[in-house]
Each structure stands twice: as structure tokens, then as C-alpha cells.
Amino acid sequence: MTATFRLDPPADPGPGPDEPRPGPAAAGARPATRPRSARPRSARRSEARAGLAMASPAILLLLAFLIVPVLLGFVLSFTNARLVSPEPLRFVGLDNFVRAFTVDPTFFRSMVNTFAFAAVVVPVQAGFGLFLALLVNQRIRGVTAFRVIFFIPVVTSIVVVSILWKFMYQPSGVINSFIDSVTLGAWQGTAWLNDPSTALFAIIVLSVWQAVGFHMLIWLSGLQTIPEELYEAARMDGAGAWRQFKDVTWPCLRPTRIFVLITITIAALGLFVQIDVMTQGGPVDSTSTLVYHAVLTGYRQQQIGYGSALSLVFFVIVLVIALVQRHLTRDKD
């Protein structure tokens, strides 16, 4: 018999003490991945408590000065609550609302005045603000000074502005004197705030003058976000100033347009300070508004329940108008 011998290769003794050992990749093994350690739940809870503690002052103020008064006003609108009265507080249902729509003539006059004021102020103030924004959007020397001048009435107290304009509207005030000098004495002057036919118009002029600077800045911020490349492309197509405004500026101002429309409408419907300082709702309720009538009824006449009902009606009117505006100006796409 013949013996067969097989010689196996010598076993690898491995790296010496001074040689680097091969890593997992060299050995053909996949590198081990260590799972990320999740943040301890206690740390997340601690951060949540810290955030809640920081936000708690704002939350408490919001509850104290907004949520609670709104809920309290809603409840009181269905009662006979008075500021000082020997009668006990009792639930009267819809009597306050029926009184507003059937008995109180000042309520309807105030509603008409409010809508008339808003119908004039909203388009005039928005349009004039856009016109001023287009003027001060030019790259000319001194344009910043004009922006500041137009914005000064906005940062001036509306109470101070109303007092100044009240003196200006006097029969011997600046406005009548100016018109008299321009007309060479043909203008006899008028008591703007004492005439029912001119009192509301006088307050409209004051309100537009005082707030137009704010909306000018809003329009201006929208104008400065429009890319200059769009105007360059329009000019290359032969578009003039009007076509550039119609095809480039106006469509790009859509978000700004919605914001301006809603803010002016809400501010116009909430007219109060000018009325309280200048006319107190007169003469003959010709300048009374919904907000002024509600405040007058609730505080000065101490009819808290009825005043709360008027405030609730005003809130519903503003909410409906805001929702309708948002629906009409929504993105059609």
C-alpha cells in the first residue's frame, strides 16, 4: 500500500505584539453600528415643564383679559345685569337682543353709521395708502424722510390727534380759515362737528389722515418683495407703467391686499375713540357707532346685560364680514 500525505498550510499565527490588528472591515465583517441612545424621558418632561413655565405669564394674561371677559360678556348678554341695581340678577333669554332690533332706535342708527364709515374708509384708506407706497418706493434722495413724515400721525396718540382736529374743525378754526382765504371770503364757515350732515364726514377725514401711514408701510413692504426681474421682463415686452402695475405689481400684492383689506375693515367697524373725544355720538346720534353705543349703554348707563348683548351682536357682525372677505379673496387655484 502506498501512503498518501496531505500538507496543510501553516496556521496564521496572527499579528505580533507590535503589529496592528486588522479591523472588522479587513476581516470581511460589516462594521457594527451602535444604536443612538434616545433622550431620557425625564429630560423631555423637564424641558416641557420649563417651556410651560415660561409661557404661563402670557397664558394667564390671555385668559384674564381676553378669554374670561368674552365668556363673561356672552353669559351676561342673556341676563338683566346692571352695574348698580337693587334687582337680583336673572336670566332674560333673548330679551336684550329683541330690544336691540325692535325697540332701540339708536342701535339701527349706530349700525348705519358704522357701515357708512367703513364703506368710505376702507377703499379710500387702502387706495391712498397704496398711492403713497408707490411714491415712496422710488430710489430717489430724501425718500426716507417722506416715509417718516407720512408715518408720524400713526405713532401719535389718537386721543391727542382727535383733540387737535376738534379745535381745527371749530367755526373759527384752521380749516374754515383756510377755506375762507382760498375762496376769497365766499366761504362763511361751518361748525363741522355740530352739523349732522358733516360730522361723520369730518371724522372720516381725520381717520383716513391718521391711519393711512400705517397701511402705506404695509403696501411698501409688499412692493419691496416683488422681484425686479419681473419688471425687467415686462419692460422687454414693451410694457408701460400701467401694464407693469396691472400685470406685475397688482397680482404680486395679493397677500398684502388681503391683509390690508381685513385690518382696515376691522379697525373701521371698531371706531370709538374719535367719536368719544370729538362728538360723543352727536349731534342727534349722527356719529354714534356700534362700539360707542355698546360702551355708552354698558358703562355710562350701567346696563351691563344690554351692553353685553350689543357687543355680542357687533362681534358676530365683524366675524361674518371677516369670513366673507376671506372667502372672496381666497386663492382660486
* Residue 221's pLDDT band (cuts 50, 70, 90): very high
Confidence at residue 14, expressed as pLDDT on a 0 to 100 scale = 52
- The pTM for the full model equals 0.79
Confidence at residue 45, expressed as pLDDT on a 0 to 100 scale = 83
Confidence at residue 316, expressed as pLDDT on a 0 to 100 scale = 92
Residue 27 has pLDDT above 50, yes or no: no
17 vs 53: CA distance, rounded Å: 60
- Residue-wise pLDDT for 149-168, tens only, equals 999 999 999 999 999 999 99
Residue 131 has pLDDT above 90, yes or no: yes
The answer to whether the bond into 283 is cis (omega within 30° of 0) is yes
Confidence at residue 20, expressed as pLDDT on a 0 to 100 scale = 52
DSSP secondary structure, 102-135, as one string: HT-HHHHHHHHHHHHHHHHHHHHHHHHHHHHHHH
How many CB atoms sit inside 10 A of residue 263's CB? 16
* Residue 333's pLDDT band (cuts 50, 70, 90): very low
Confidence at residue 330, expressed as pLDDT on a 0 to 100 scale = 73
Residue 200 domain-assigned (yes or no): yes
- Residue-wise pLDDT for 242-282, tens only, equals 999 999 999 999 989 989 998 999 999 999 999 999 999 98
Residue 243 domain-assigned (yes or no): yes
Confidence at residue 33, expressed as pLDDT on a 0 to 100 scale = 53
- CB burial class (10 A; 0-12, 13-18, 19+) of residue 39? exposed
Residue 320 has pLDDT above 60, yes or no: yes
Asked whether the beta carbons of 310 and 100 are under 8 A apart, the reply is: yes
Confidence at residue 238, expressed as pLDDT on a 0 to 100 scale = 87
Taking all residues of the chain, what is their mean pLDDT, rounded to a whole number?
Answer: 85
Confidence at residue 106, expressed as pLDDT on a 0 to 100 scale = 92
Domain count for the chain, please give it. 1
Residue 333 domain-assigned (yes or no): no
- Residue-wise pLDDT for 70-120, tens only, equals 899 999 999 998 887 778 888 999 999 999 999 999 999 999 999 999 999
Confidence at residue 122, expressed as pLDDT on a 0 to 100 scale = 94
Residue 42 domain-assigned (yes or no): no
Closest alpha carbon to 75 in 311, 294, 296 = 311
* Residue 30's pLDDT band (cuts 50, 70, 90): low
Q: Domain limits at 267?
A: 95-328
CATH code where residue 258 lies: 1.10.3720.10
Residue 241 domain-assigned (yes or no): yes
Residue 68 domain-assigned (yes or no): no
99 vs 110: CA distance, rounded Å: 15
Q: Report, as an integer, the average pLDDT of 25-53.
A: 66
C-alpha cell read off for 180: 375762507
Residue 211 domain-assigned (yes or no): yes
- Percent of the chain with pLDDT strictly greater than 90: 55
- Which one is predicted more confidently, 308 or 40? 308
Residue 21 has pLDDT above 60, yes or no: no
Q: Report, as an integer, the average pLDDT of 58-74.
A: 91
Residue 153 domain-assigned (yes or no): yes
Confidence at residue 239, expressed as pLDDT on a 0 to 100 scale = 86
C-alpha cell read off for 28: 470581511
